[in-house]
Structure 1
């Protein structure tokens, strides 16, 4: 296809597919493959529109408490970082960095530094801070880049998680469970064991962290009163538990970042004029020739599975206890299955144009960069250079940031574990595909937003 806009007949076909007028439209779309390079059997059907009914219910009172806790540094070991520092409203629920700068860092987004003096960070956060859009959807059963948290009753508490049998009971869902783990991470929120009791407790046993944080929240009257209003069975501070805190954080994230009002969403709902010609052409590529929808499928544009794309290694990695290499083997670190080596969870794509850098480690600073990597992972890996990633500078890390990338044997292992076949697109087609990805940007950027102040009185990032 080389014209400036789609022919009228093909636009009609696409609109019929989006509206769900199935059999005849599908046949016509298959016939369109005689003109376009896409094969008929490679066409993925459009998803149904994403709706409020696709999300878990939430308690507005709990969500309001969760908003305050989300931005309150009281939940960090040294009281100097909050969930919102790395998942900020102004940064599309992320932090704008390739690898996060957690406890000990200073500033926000691209201005965040690794800190000063004795308080500066010990190492970078190993992975990119994921965006939080649509995490409250009912179909989500696994979280984190490596899937280390999933809905599974293997430990008798409803979840397979790093806390194993020590996860508290009464959690409302997977988002409540997820909220507990950054609080225990030395690089994210807990800090160094030499600095505070919270970090020290994490080294003893993961669930020893949470009672220490609960004691802090119990000592803040505003939180206690708000929790009592949300739960009449909670009679006083002594009844407040980490489960209450986790459920509040989970309800906040569930309700805060719901995105289903993009141009593509309007198109799926029947607005035939919602997408411009470039985005329409990109949509045809996404669901056809480019084969994006083979992984980015369904209402959430993710199969919730794990795939190896040979993204270049850098940073501290997430090595296993017995692993001699500074690297990130992805899903295999959790499953211990060789076939999962270097595989990472397929991200959802609403607002993807806002949530860079892209990749599980933020290896690409541009949307075009990550798109072209997907089209030919091995060639892109061979052409990638450290100059393409912008890490907050720190002379202590300069010699080790790219140790794994410089390891030729490790690069060969990456090359050998690629799950997707190369796809050839013209520059025009790549541009159209990016136009479609940009058409996934919604208007809603948060229901409650960032609070101006929090009950602890600590500064709000």
Structure 2
């Protein structure tokens, strides 16, 4: 087998199918002062309705900038990572419907589509240069897609806003008041502006605030986006060393790379320097949890990209994730159905295989997490939509692919040293 894999590697054109090494030019420029401000805001629970959840709660470096859960617990949850649990005194209404995505390399210029369904994307034909579920006048002022994506968690009752009637932000969201005086974004911005250290930092960072403009939610978002872009640039893996000619991969990792860029066909979707084509594909991943449904809807489906475009052909398609640091970002899949990368890989190669539940789901009274698996009509539709033909690989080949995926891990991927000890609000920091 080793000889066969070696011959496969030799048969590949020299570096022809490998991406170019990552360079500084692939990233947007960073303002260090803006990033420092964004760091505090990212970790400050002041942005949540009940002042108990920060961005870092569900995007924590100790868990690969995710939360280590299949489907997270936002409002009504206590703790971080796989130990997060439901607060018996304030139970979550439901789990967050999709797995928390990792934040690596989102400052790279090519990341112009975000979220599993791509509901935030760059669009130069629109006045705002963004396409989102919001109207153009609502997204004016966001610097780009990375900044604009922050508008959604703070408005979600299950993620950060809080449930109906719990606080001023959740009441505004419930009433449909998002922008303008007294809207949800305005209430959050006023909270921040009322803290002297934040007021000083915003004046020092943004000339328009120094000139007298009030701090806006878009200013907060832009600062957070700059921090994320700066903090989680990740191009120090063994694979990067291979691409730069510094330390070539060998052994099982090299065998896995030959498969990945050769007969296994992984690179047809996981292409380019960040191992994603940024497109949408139906792969037949199991659906768990509440599904992507409005409160008035009773189903547990998640039709992915179709929910954004309304096109039947987009049913069950989800954005191709970047595979950088994939080995430390478990669980896997849009609903986090797989706790282990090996289990996901087996199912990804053949979605028709029976699913043996291995999700990481803290107990939640009343949750019907596996109910979607009982809907035979829905399961058939998901499998029928799957684009890739079933593939068969030996256990040795699976092990080689896993070794290559491990080689995509930057040693700094789970470094939590950047978490501040305190934040200007004085609220607790999730460390």
> How would you bin the TM-score normalised by the shorter chain?
over 0.9
Q: Does 2:154 correspond to 1:183?
A: yes
Which one of the candidate residues 395, 409, 416 is aligned to 2:384?
A: 416
1:208-247 equivalences under 5 Å are 208-235=183-210, 239-247=214-222
Unpaired segments of 5 or more residues in structure 2?
none
Q: 2:396 aligns with which of 403, 424, 428?
A: 428
- Deviation of 1:320 after TM superposition, in Å, equals 5.6
CA distance in 2, matches of 1:301, 1:357: 18
**Counterpart for residue 29 of structure 1:** none
How big is the shift at 1:451?
0.7
**Does 1:346 find its partner at 2:346?**
no
Residue 439 of structure 1 and its aligned partner are, at CA, apart by: 0.2
Contact kept? 2:61, 2:416, Cα under 8 Å = no
1:330 and 1:407 mapped to 2: Cα distance? 17
Q: CA RMSD in A?
A: 2.0
Match in the other structure for 1:28: none
Is the 2:169–2:187 contact (alpha carbons within 8 Å) kept by the matching residues of 1?
yes
1:25 matched to which residue of 2? none
- Do residues 389 (structure 1) and 364 (structure 2) align? no
- Tell me which residue corresponds to 2:115: 144
Secondary structure at the residue paired with 1:344?
A: strand
Alignment of 1:107 onto 2:79: yes
Separation in 1, partners of 2:404, 2:178:
43
Whichever of the two has the greater Rg, that structure is: 1
Write the mapping of 1:50-449 to structure 2, written as runs, cut at 5 A. 50-117=22-89, 119-153=90-124, 156-203=127-174, 204-207=176-179, 208-235=183-210, 239-271=214-246, 273-319=247-293, 324-379=298-353, 383-386=354-357, 388-397=358-367, 400-445=368-413, 449=418
* Aligned match of 2:422: 453
Deviation of 1:416 after TM superposition, in Å, equals 0.9
Q: Is the 8 A contact 1:68 1:451 kept in 2?
A: yes
- What's the CA shift string for 1:95-137, capped at 9, x where partnerless? 00000110120011111001121x2211100000000001111
1: CA distance between counterparts of 2:2 and 2:330? 30
Q: Is the 8 A contact 2:8 2:262 kept in 1?
A: no
8 Å contact kept, 1:6–1:277: no
Residues 285 and 348, structure 2, Cα contact 8 Å, conserved in 1: no
Match of 1:130, SS? coil
TM-score of the aligned structures, taking structure 2 as reference length: 0.94
- CA-to-partner distance for each residue in 1:17-37, whole Å, 9 max, x for gaps? 23xxx5xxxxxxxxxxxxxxx
Shift of 1:179: 1.6
TM-score in terms of structure 1 length: 0.88
Structure-2 residue corresponding to 1:26: none
Q: Quick one: distance in 1 between partners of 2:314 and 2:105?
A: 26
